[in-house]
Amino acid sequence: MKLTLILPSVGKIEGEKYIRAWQMEPLPLAQLAALTPDDVTISFFDDRMESIDYDHPADLVAISVETYTARRAYQIASEFRRRGIPIVMGGFHASLCPDEVSDYADAVVVGEAEGVWEDVIADFKNGQLKERYQKAINFGEYDIIPDRSIYEGKNYLKITLLEAGRGCKFRCEFCSIHNVFQQRHTHRKITSIVNEIRKLKNPKRLLFFVDDNICSDKEYAKELFRALVPLNIKWVGQADITMVRDEELMVIMRKSGCQGILIGMESLDKEVLKKMNKAFNASRLSPAEAIKKIHSFGLRLYLTFLFGYGNDSPEYAEKVLRFCIDNKIFMVGFNHLTPFPGTELYNTLEAENRLLFEKWWLSEDYRYGMIPFETPQDKTMIEEQSKYLRKSFYSLRSILYRMSNWINIKGWMMLNIYFIINLMLRKDTGQRMRFPLGDPNQTIICRKSKV
């Protein structure tokens, strides 16, 4: 049996080959490859960086779908459908909108692939592919070592992605993680993570734990970090700011080789944080105090801010910019609010009749970077503001100034990464803004009707 795995891009720019040349390894597909029985021959196309050969021999095509890539995924599925090749889809969007995804796939995997993917393959071989595969989330320990051989020949960023668990205990209004993981976590066996790292081809590369919130379960996190200490690795990950309340955690985190952490700061306004259901961000220490403390443990910071919640005057934007530069943050994401399906935010906007598109992620009229809902504020102003903030934060002057935080540039590896990432983001600011999702030249064939 021949299986083709596909990771769709967000979209294509007319006249240009790809939207972005630098890409991270797609870990979920390497995990899927690991779950696939040995007698299946796997091919893999990463639509973000190469052309898909639709005529490559395949018995079954598996496409991983995220909300931003849904339109493109359905276009790709349509091309294979024209050739009579069945499609199975999974990924986070398939869990958020299984009925929609069903319209474009012969089978949909809802939730985690572990425990059902083997059935998909067996059923396909027996000519009995079902329309939907779903199993309750396994909140016990799981064990999966990704098959990274699918990355061979592709020029990904030299950062190794791995996973210790999924889910997060919080319930931020705009976040869809808790829809699937019910404010709980799944954990990988720590021995399995250690074994995986020991067997990596390039263990000296920077490792990136892609967990939604690696410190969500602090006791598990401590146990994991203790096990990482002897491995002498360097890693980064994502967490929430409450990690600063636990000094023991911070110490062991640093000892385990943590170089930096992504934290969703979202807003400097307590009222806005409350609206987001993220008041815990400012509940004990002020943002500046929390940052100082994290820096004092030698950890770099990647902060993200969200605009579009109501307090987005030009003065507030300047305040955020100054805050990020003055606190010499390693890198910052300035994003505006996007309602993802299944989130409380989406449901509220829908109930208030404020959504501008029935499904913005499928609309031909939606453009990347647009605010797809009615807000009392000037939408163009908010969109332009994020662009302005990125441009200013990644100006050469700011990049050089933020180097005066010695933590940002300590050690050759992180000094290199500081320059590479900051200069790449400087080049990338606004690059994708206003581009349509999907390929404007490709059509979508729904399983039931044409759209």
Contact with ligand SF4 (CB under 6 A) among 31, 213, 385, 386: 213
Nearest to 213 by CA among 255, 154, 268, 172: 172
The letter for the amino acid at 121 is: I
The letter for the amino acid at 145 is: I
Contact with ligand SF4 (CB under 6 A) among 12, 166, 178, 336: 178
Give me the helix-helix angle, 218-228 and 190-199, nearest 10°. Answer: 30
CB of 376 to ligand SF4, least distance (A): 24
- The secondary structure element, H or E, covering residue 29 is helix 27-35
Q: How far is CA 45 from CA 6, 48, 56, 130, 152, in A?
A: 5, 9, 10, 25, 11
Q: Say whether residue 175 binds ligand SF4 (CB under 6 A).
A: yes
The rounded distance, in Å, linking the Cα atoms of 438 and 403 is 38
Cβ distance to ligand SF4 smaller for residue 25 or 266:
266
Q: Say whether residue 47 binds ligand SF4 (CB under 6 A).
A: no
Cβ distance to ligand SF4 smaller for residue 4 or 242:
242
Q: Say whether residue 240 binds ligand SF4 (CB under 6 A).
A: yes
Per CB under 6 A, which region of 151-159, 169-177, 339-347, 438-446 contacts ligand SF4?
A: 169-177
CB of 280 to ligand SF4, least distance (A): 8
Cβ distance to ligand SF4 smaller for residue 3 or 177:
177
Which tokens belong to 374? 């009615």
DSSP for 228-272, please give it: HGGG---EEEEE-GGGGG-HHHHHHHHHTTEEEEEEEEE-S-HHH
User: How far is CA 60 from its chain centroid?
Assistant: 26
Cβ distance to ligand SF4 smaller for residue 142 or 174:
174
- The secondary structure element, H or E, covering residue 336 is strand 331-336
Cβ distance to ligand SF4 smaller for residue 308 or 436:
308
CB of 415 to ligand SF4, least distance (A): 29
Cβ distance to ligand SF4 smaller for residue 26 or 264:
264
Contact with ligand SF4 (CB under 6 A) among 58, 168, 224, 253: 168
Cβ distance to ligand SF4 smaller for residue 183 or 443:
183
Q: Which residue has the tokens 């059923």?
A: 123
Q: How far is CA 434 from CA 194, 317, 367, 380, 391, in A?
A: 43, 21, 5, 12, 16
CB of 406 to ligand SF4, least distance (A): 29
Cβ distance to ligand SF4 smaller for residue 339 or 438:
339
Q: Say whether residue 212 binds ligand SF4 (CB under 6 A).
A: yes
Q: Say whether residue 312 binds ligand SF4 (CB under 6 A).
A: no
Cβ distance to ligand SF4 smaller for residue 173 or 318:
173
The rounded distance, in Å, linking the Cα atoms of 78 and 150 is 24
Q: Say whether residue 114 binds ligand SF4 (CB under 6 A).
A: no
398 phi, psi to nearest 5 deg: -70, -40
CB of 387 to ligand SF4, least distance (A): 23
User: How many helices and strands, by DSSP H and E, does the chain display?
Assistant: 17, 15
- Binding string to ligand SF4 for residues 247 to 266, with x set by CB under 6 A, is what? -----------------x--
Q: Say whether residue 163 binds ligand SF4 (CB under 6 A).
A: no
Q: How many residues bind ligand SF4 (CB under 6 A)?
A: 11
DSSP code for 393: H
Cβ distance to ligand SF4 smaller for residue 87 or 172:
172
| Other Cβ atoms closer than 10 A to 21 | 12
Region of 209 (left: φ > 0; alpha: ψ -120 to 50; beta: rest) is: beta
Q: Say whether residue 309 binds ligand SF4 (CB under 6 A).
A: no
CB of 337 to ligand SF4, least distance (A): 12
Q: What is the largest CA-CA distance in the chain?
A: 63
Contact with ligand SF4 (CB under 6 A) among 45, 170, 309, 330: 170
Q: Say whether residue 306 binds ligand SF4 (CB under 6 A).
A: no
Instruction: List residues near ligand SF4 by CB under 6 A.
Output: 168, 170-172, 175, 177-178, 212-213, 240, 264
